[in-house]
Amino acid sequence: MKKSITIVDIAKEAGVSVSTVSRVLTGKVKVNEEKRRIVQAVIDKYNFQPNAMARGLINSKSNLIGILTADIRNPYYSTLIVSCEQAATERGYNLLLCNSFSDRLNEFSLLDRLSQQKVDAMILIGGAPDEVETDKEYAEKINALLEETPVIITGNLNGTNCKRVNIDENRAMQLIMDYILSLDGIKSVAFAGGSRRYISNVTLRDCYKNMLEKKGLKYIPEFDVENERYDEIGGREAMDKILSNGKVPDVVIAVNDFTAVGILKSIHEHNLRVPEDISVVSFDDTYIASLVTPQLTSVGYNYWEFGEKIISTAIKLIDKREVPEEIFIEPKLIIRNSCKTE
């Protein structure tokens, strides 16, 4: 590997001083047009890329945004991260990606690494910020970080004042409920999957219960089944449990698309049909929703907007501009074929 070309080499070849080269590079100070042309020509000739580390050292700015997520294999996360990456790229930032696999120790050491890289901001998606009970040590860690670096989260992190970008869960549940109850002959609504250990799930379940009562339907505890796993297996387990006492709900709300897939399978195995016997709705509208048969009616979000809001909040914070404590993302219902409509 050759040693890479530097601003000094460019200056030499262009016959100017390094500061002049620097000036044409940054473009902030006027340079004689003729000189500018010559310098630019040399830059282009070598496709010279100024060393970001040297630049960063001077402005205390790495142009890096660290993003810590639970597991990028989950389509919800990967979709969100692609949006973030896009928004960041457009604004001249690069993304440093870390997966914690929801392991606390991992998260700690990854946070240290991000701060070692002097990322300009950190974004925490999933993992600890999702939990209802913020672990004290974690909050302290984040607070220490906040002294030096803006931290944006999805979820909430009690005891810290990270800025938050979140889905309006209440609105999401409301969209689902309004839709469900607009269908004919709905008497019972089940909610399958998810755990009250996670903040968003508490919001969802509370809203589910409230709306049920407001609409004059009975809340049936056996139809409200939690499950720690947010995947297909979790969905199947939850649905098996719901159907285990012989009663069949008219609709089941799945905590996410993966869970819905398990629910679909469980229903199938019980020799019932979707949507003829049971309707199914879910959250997130990942591509899974349109992959399965029947295609799922699901509450989705504008992921581009979601990622954009996260990144623009981060950059505002980097630029020391004001941002609201919490920004909400508006959900929207995507109607497909998993609910009985006639």
Partner DNA sequence: CTGAAAGCGCTAACAT
Partner DNA sequence: ATGTTAGCGCTTTCAG
Contacts of 250 (CB under 8 A, 6+ apart): 185, 186, 187, 188, 189, 278, 279
57 interacts with DNA by CB under 7 A: yes
> To the nearest whole angstrom, how small is the minimum distance from the Cβ of residue 90 to DNA?
20
99 contact choice in a second copy, DNA, none (CB below 5 to 8 Å, kind-dependent): a second copy
Other beta carbons within 10 Å of 57: 12
- Find the shortest distance in angstroms from Cβ 117 to DNA: 12
* Calpha distance 83→68 (Å, rounded): 15
Q: 33 or 184: whose CB is closer to DNA? A: 33
State which of residues 12, 13, 18, 97 lies at the interface with DNA (CB under 7 A).
18
Angle at 190 (CA atoms; ends 288, 251), nearest 5 degrees: 65
Q: Is 209 in the site for DNA (CB under 7 A)?
A: no
Nearest alpha carbon to residue 331 among 172, 219, 176, 189: 172
Rounded to a whole number of angstroms, the minimum distance from the CB of residue 232 to DNA is 46
Residues that bind a second copy (CB under 8 A): 1-4, 47, 49-54, 56-57, 60, 62-64, 71-73, 75, 78-79, 81-82, 85-86, 89, 94-99, 110, 112-113, 115-118, 144, 147-150, 232, 261, 265, 268, 287-288, 290-293, 320
Considering CB distances under 5 to 8 angstroms, the limit depending on partner class, which of DNA, a second copy, none binds residue 320?
a second copy
154 beta partners: 125
Which of 107, 224 has the CB closer to a second copy?
Answer: 107
**Cis status of the peptide bond prior to 75, with omega within 30 of 0:** no
Provide the minimum distance between the beta carbon of 33 and DNA in the complex, in angstroms, as a whole number. 8
Shortest Å, Cβ 50 to DNA: 4
- Residue 191 CA from chain centroid, whole number: 23
Minimum CB–partner distance for residue 137 and DNA (Å):
24
- Name the binder of 59 from DNA, a second copy, none, CB < 5-8 A by kind: DNA
**Which entry of a second copy, DNA, none binds 71, CB below 5 to 8 A by partner kind?**
a second copy
Give me the least distance between CB of 177 and a second copy, in Å please.
27
- Taking CB under 7 A as the criterion, which residues in 66-95 touch DNA? none
Which residues contribute to the site for DNA (CB under 7 A)? 3-4, 6-8, 16-23, 25-26, 28-32, 35-36, 50-51, 54-55, 57-60
